[in-house]
Amino acid sequence: MLGLETDRDDWRTLSGLLDQVLDLPAEDRSAWIERLPLQYAHLRNRIRSLLAAADAIAGGGFLHTIPKVDSGMTPIAADEDGLQPGDLVGPYRVIRKLADGGMGAVWLAERADGLVNRPVALKLPRGAWLGAALAERMAEEREILAALNHPHIARLYDAGVASDGQPYLALEYVAGQPIDEFVTSRALSIRDRLQLFLQVTRAVSHAHAHLIVHRDLKPSNILVTDEGEVKLLDFGIAKLLGEGREGGSVTQTARLLTPDYASPEQIAGDALGVATDVYSGGVLLFELLTGVRPYAACGSSRVALQQAVLTLEPPRPSEAATRAPVRRLLRGDLDCIVGKAIRKRPDERYATIDAFAGDIERYLQNRPVLARQDSKWYRLSKGVVRHRIAVAAIVAVFVAIAAGAALATWQARVALIEKDRAEEVRNFLVTLLKDTSPYSGGGRALSALDWLKQARRRIDQRPDLRPELRVELLNLVGASLVNMQDTAGADEVLSQAVAEAAQHLGNAHHQTLRARVLMLSVHRFRGRTAEMRAELAQLLPALRAAGRPLSEDLAIALKNHAHLEIDEGHYHEAERAAQEAVDVSRRELGEHHPETVAALLIRAYAYQFSRDAGEALAAAVNAYDAARVVYRDAPRHPRTIEGRLVYGRALGDAGELTIGVQQLTQAVRDAAEVFGGSSRMVGFFSIPLADFQAETGLVEDAIESSRNALAIIAQHTRPTSFRYAAALRQRGVALLAARRTEEALPDLTAARETLRHTLSASNSVTRWFEADLGLALARAGHHHQAEALLEPLLPADGAAPNPSESKALYVAGVQKRLAGHPAEALRLQRRALAAIDSGRSGELRRMRVLTEIGLALLDLERPNEAITPLEQALTISTQSQLRGGPDRDDILNGLSRARYVPDRGRTVAVPAVQ
């Protein structure tokens, strides 16, 4: 095939050239091609050969319209493939057709080359193949799906696209009956049916461990062989074919699913997850046990069924079953188990398929089933939700019980709850308090906060409670408030906790330590860095000494330590702290503990400063994925949003600016939606967003984002805090990027002042800010001030510059050029360039330095030499997806100047690229 192997940029160049040459009259074209400058020489032949066809085409006739299509004599139905037994599709030879559904046909097939002698079920999707990039998706997903190797899952052996464009999926051929027919035709007992179902759950669990959700579990997808082995079909095929992808699937797509097995969230088009499979599994179990489907009584109209799934409470299995002995057996535990699986709200179901299977196993072993006690709390909490006031009363009950205080008024309730459940009650309280976050309540952030405030008031009203319990509860409330971004509230509550703990429990008590650890975040958010450092100095050794019981606290403290070090520019210390946090969490808390995710996130963030872009990106991907796994049922959990932020920044640093900006924008959007548009998180996230927007040339957006960030952060911290200075600096940088230098100056000056006071003058972050200021001063023409500022920032001659020094070199170079000393500027920029080449990749920094080199050479009246660096800069700007902006303008203007060829008073227009 002709050079359609050309890449995008080559084509753009070529296309531009073609436009120009086609505009010329035919007789001038040859000469024009000859005169193409050197950098287009390699394209000359291509242009010539393409033009050779021009005349033929201009005459009309070639590809004027599609050729005649012979309809053939047989009516070709929209769903016929025209395949015959013996035909080849890819490497397979089809034998006979097994089935034909709307989305495609399935054929029994075998490998044509006889390499492997086994029958496969060849699935040939139809029509969808021109939808979004099926081939690319297949390449992506095939690795994952092919790795799904489990005795109860029909293997995906192969996936590909045949030479005529027909995609194919080669699956393990399974001869068996659908599971519902199997259990009915053999009249299996309840126990046997449950055992069969457990096979299904094992298969699903295996896939979930590989992050694959089935999404389409139903009897026709679950076959049972004669030997009683279950085989799940079509795992992940739904995703491969793009049906109902995760996160916001479309109603249209949901319409393609049978509503009998579709979960409420699938019908409503909400986010899907592990819980979706739990639901379908529950419906399946319902049918296996009773012989009917949960909403069978609602008729067969699609709409009615959908409505039922969304809003009606299904009958209990024991009620739906038709035969009396079956009803007796189902009543009680099995009712509860199935009921818990098919709850409307995903967060009320079994959290994992393993939990579901676990309860079934307990039932089979005649052990108490968890679903039953859950149903009690379920009823309780349902009552709780209806009457907000009652919540406080419940808290009081728990508190009383946990405290062991047998107050007369609570005695009746206490009696209801067995003594050995007291521990569980407390745990329930702990979970209820700790996990109150906006997303899990479906956006009821306000009521959760009120709830916490109520809880806190209740604690205040009970001075008779044991001090240890009081502090523990205060800690819980405080931690929840931190999670929910209510810094002021958390400050109050935790300060109280610390005070009471110090007074009543002593400094070594673990609740005291916990309170102080939780306070660390508050100190950080409020900019109280000195206090934070002092606390860390005392807390870390104490926590390390305490060992396993306080591992979670140690991890949190280390995380805060890492954050602090990053803020202050001590990146290697940050990395060390983060690494220790990761190690401790992994070892003591486990891979899937929320604190491990937090540790991975902070480490990835640290890497963005201490390692090169490749390593940083790898760590960011790692952390983001971990967050998505652990919080897979809550796509807008603060940690997932944080993960997206870290990931977006890493992408940007690695040169993928457009995607980086997309991810950051999404993170900001999510944070705004979950916590409100003026929440602290939105303010913080808007800073790196502004940074990248400025880098990609979206200068107006950058100014907007940074303004927003500053406004928000001003509400949360003091103007003398580092956070505020960072936001101020970002606005200044954005304005500077837009070349609104006069406006940028005050911001950058103020930011630098703050830093000189809060950090030291020799701190790398301070120097970074000073370089920004230097650039502004230079552009504004205050050369003396700029020189004075920049001089001490420069590295000694011959020394290898660190990042802030190489930035200073660049800025100093700009200043020299603007002040009219191009030779000096050139020398500085060349040093800057050498530094960038050998360090952490920063393509855009290179681009800017190259631009400056070009401009300096132009000022030195050496235009021919200027062309190369300027064109290199241009290439980088295109590759980095720069969307215009002053930096790009500089390059283009420079190139125009360089190419101006005075020739008999006429400018020969040499093709400008794009």
Contacting residue, 34, 38, 41, 70, with other proteins by CB under 8 A: 70
Q: Smaller CB distance to other proteins: residue 76 or 406?
A: 76
Q: Smaller CB distance to other proteins: residue 134 or 694?
A: 134
| Closest distance to other proteins from the beta carbon of 659 (Å) | 12
Q: Is 27 in the site for other proteins (CB under 8 A)?
A: no
| Closest distance to other proteins from the beta carbon of 127 (Å) | 5
| Closest distance to other proteins from the beta carbon of 56 (Å) | 7
How far apart CA 30 and CA 704 sit, in angstroms, is 51
The answer to whether the CB of 783 falls within 8 A of the CB of 818 is yes
| Closest distance to other proteins from the beta carbon of 253 (Å) | 5
How far apart CA 504 and CA 467 sit, in angstroms, is 7
In 210-331, the DSSP E strands lie at 222-224, 230-232
Contacting range for other proteins; rule: CB under 8 A; set: 51-59, 340-348, 559-567, 794-802: 51-59
| Closest distance to other proteins from the beta carbon of 52 (Å) | 9
Q: Any idea which residue has 């296996």 for tokens?
A: 288
Q: What amino acid occupies position 848?
A: R
Q: Scanning residues 155 to 174, which ones bind other proteins (CB under 8 A)?
A: 164-166
Which DSSP symbol is given to 911?
P
Contacting residue, 41, 73, 408, 412, with other proteins by CB under 8 A: 73
| Closest distance to other proteins from the beta carbon of 36 (Å) | 18
Q: Is 412 in the site for other proteins (CB under 8 A)?
A: no
Q: Is 7 in the site for other proteins (CB under 8 A)?
A: yes
Nearest to 798 by CA among 838, 834, 765, 843: 834
The answer to whether the CB of 697 falls within 8 A of the CB of 887 is yes
How far apart CA 109 and CA 105 sit, in angstroms, is 12
| Closest distance to other proteins from the beta carbon of 307 (Å) | 16
Q: Is 100 in the site for other proteins (CB under 8 A)?
A: no
How far apart CA 489 and CA 1 sit, in angstroms, is 67
How far, in Å, are 564, 707, 751, 755, 765 from residue 728 at the CA level?
19, 9, 6, 11, 14
How far, in Å, are 93, 123, 154, 159, 579 from residue 115 at the CA level?
12, 20, 20, 17, 49
Binding mask 108-147 toward other proteins (x if CB under 8 A, else -) reads: -------------------xxxxxxx--------------
Contacting residue, 25, 41, 62, 419, with other proteins by CB under 8 A: 62
| Closest distance to other proteins from the beta carbon of 891 (Å) | 23
Nearest to 613 by CA among 842, 876, 768: 842
Partner residues linked to 108 by β-bridges: 96, 121
Q: Is 74 in the site for other proteins (CB under 8 A)?
A: yes
Q: Is 303 in the site for other proteins (CB under 8 A)?
A: no
Q: Is 78 in the site for other proteins (CB under 8 A)?
A: yes
| Closest distance to other proteins from the beta carbon of 179 (Å) | 28
Contacting residue, 20, 83, 377, 783, with other proteins by CB under 8 A: 83
Alpha helices for 461-612 (secondary structure H): 467-483, 487-504, 510-526, 529-546, 551-567, 571-584, 594-610
Contacting residue, 22, 545, 823, 912, with other proteins by CB under 8 A: 22
How far apart CA 548 and CA 281 sit, in angstroms, is 38
Q: Smaller CB distance to other proteins: residue 67 or 549?
A: 67
Q: Is 82 in the site for other proteins (CB under 8 A)?
A: yes
Q: Any idea which residue has 């979670």 for tokens?
A: 552
Q: Which two tokens stand for residue 838?
A: 């050998």
Number of residues engaging other proteins in binding (CB under 8 A) = 64
Q: Is 65 in the site for other proteins (CB under 8 A)?
A: yes
Contacting residue, 25, 59, 75, 325, with other proteins by CB under 8 A: 75
Q: How far is CA 457 from the centre of its chain?
A: 37
Q: Smaller CB distance to other proteins: residue 249 or 829?
A: 249
Q: Any idea which residue has 């047998």 for tokens?
A: 406
Q: Any idea which residue has 């946990």 for tokens?
A: 402
Contacting residue, 32, 39, 54, 393, with other proteins by CB under 8 A: 54
Q: Is 287 in the site for other proteins (CB under 8 A)?
A: no
Q: Is 659 in the site for other proteins (CB under 8 A)?
A: no
Buried b (16+ CB within 10 A) or exposed e, 205-215: bbbbeeebbbb
Give the CB-side neighbour count of residue 472, counting CA atoms within 13 A. 14
Contacting range for other proteins; rule: CB under 8 A; set: 25-33, 53-61, 587-595, 644-652: 53-61
Contacting range for other proteins; rule: CB under 8 A; set: 240-248, 494-502, 554-562, 763-771: 240-248
Q: Smaller CB distance to other proteins: residue 13 or 352?
A: 13
Q: In the annotation, is 491 catalytic?
A: no
Q: Smaller CB distance to other proteins: residue 241 or 400?
A: 241
Q: Smaller CB distance to other proteins: residue 84 or 366?
A: 84
Q: Smaller CB distance to other proteins: residue 130 or 412?
A: 130
Contacting residue, 20, 32, 87, 174, with other proteins by CB under 8 A: 87
Would you call 602 helix, strand, or coil by DSSP? helix
Would you call 801 helix, strand, or coil by DSSP? coil
How far apart CA 381 and CA 601 sit, in angstroms, is 34
Q: Any idea which residue has 């020489």 for tokens?
A: 41
Cα angle value 481/485/488 (rounded, 5°): 70
Q: Smaller CB distance to other proteins: residue 51 or 380?
A: 51
Q: Is 252 in the site for other proteins (CB under 8 A)?
A: yes
Q: Smaller CB distance to other proteins: residue 151 or 165?
A: 165
In this structure, the number of other CB atoms found within 10 A of the CB of residue 414 comes to 18
Partner residues linked to 170 by β-bridges: 122, 158
Give me the helix-helix angle, 8-23 and 863-879, nearest 10°. 120
Q: Is 55 in the site for other proteins (CB under 8 A)?
A: no
Q: Give the DSSP letter string of 319-363.
A: HH-SSHHHHHHHTTHHHHHHHHHT-SSGGGS-SSHHHHHHHHHHH
In 104-221, the DSSP E strands lie at 104-111, 120-125, 156-161, 167-172, 177-178
Q: Is 30 in the site for other proteins (CB under 8 A)?
A: no
Contacting residue, 25, 59, 67, 549, with other proteins by CB under 8 A: 67
Q: Smaller CB distance to other proteins: residue 68 or 386?
A: 68
Q: Smaller CB distance to other proteins: residue 86 or 905?
A: 86
| Closest distance to other proteins from the beta carbon of 129 (Å) | 7
Partner residues linked to 88 by β-bridges: 93
| Closest distance to other proteins from the beta carbon of 673 (Å) | 18
Q: Smaller CB distance to other proteins: residue 254 or 474?
A: 254
Contacting residue, 142, 210, 245, 362, with other proteins by CB under 8 A: 245
Would you call 285 helix, strand, or coil by DSSP? helix
Q: Is 25 in the site for other proteins (CB under 8 A)?
A: no
Catalytic hit among 70, 81, 216, 277: 216
Cα angle value 566/570/572 (rounded, 5°): 95
Q: Which two tokens stand for residue 575?
A: 């990395």
Q: Is 243 in the site for other proteins (CB under 8 A)?
A: yes
The answer to whether the CB of 794 falls within 8 A of the CB of 812 is yes
| Closest distance to other proteins from the beta carbon of 241 (Å) | 8
The answer to whether the CB of 866 falls within 8 A of the CB of 894 is yes
In 687-830, the DSSP E strands lie at none
How far apart CA 270 and CA 260 sit, in angstroms, is 17
| Closest distance to other proteins from the beta carbon of 655 (Å) | 19
Q: Is 378 in the site for other proteins (CB under 8 A)?
A: no
Contacting residue, 199, 205, 249, 480, with other proteins by CB under 8 A: 249
Q: Any idea which residue has 């190259």 for tokens?
A: 850
Return residues touching other proteins (CB under 8 A): 1-2, 4, 6-8, 11-12, 15, 18-19, 22, 49-51, 53-54, 56-58, 62-63, 65-78, 80-84, 87, 127-133, 164-166, 241-245, 248-253, 256
Residues annotated as part of the active site: 216
